[in-house]
Structure 1
Amino acid sequence: MPQLNPNPWFTIMLLTWLSFSFLMQPKLLSFISTNTPMNKALPTKPTPWTWPWT
């Protein structure tokens, strides 16, 4: 059964993972995010709903 032979597929997976880790990841992480996180105020406690039938 050829699908159980890990010989070519493991090498391809390993090379793909290494190329992503060492070539692509630093390039992607060097971009500056345009949406910088902001400090938000703590959410206020919601006011209770006034039901018209009570």
Structure 2
Amino acid sequence: MPQLNPAPWFPIMLLTWFTFSLLIQPKLLTFTTTNPPLNKNIPTKPTPWTWPWA
């Protein structure tokens, strides 16, 4: 079964992984997000949920 032979696919996978990690990823990490996350004030104690059958 040719699917189990890793000889042609392993170097292709390594080349793709190195290309992504060394060339593409640093370029993607330099982009800034359009909507940066905000620090929201989380209430200290949430209100309990009243169950109708309790």
Same fold (TM over 0.5): yes
Larger radius of gyration: 1
Structure 1 residues 17 and 48, CA gap change in structure 2 (3 angstroms): closer
* Percent of matched pairs sharing the same residue: 60
Structure 1 10/47 Cα, relative in aligned 2: closer, same or farther at 3 Å? closer
Structure 1: unaligned runs, 5 residues or longer: none
Give the 5 Å matches for 1:1-54.
1-43=1-43, 45-46=46-47
Unaligned regions of 5+ residues in structure 2, if any?
Answer: none
The Cα RMSD (Å) is 2.0
In the alignment, the residues of structure 1 paired with residue 27 and residue 17 of structure 2 have an alpha-carbon distance, to the nearest angstrom, of 15
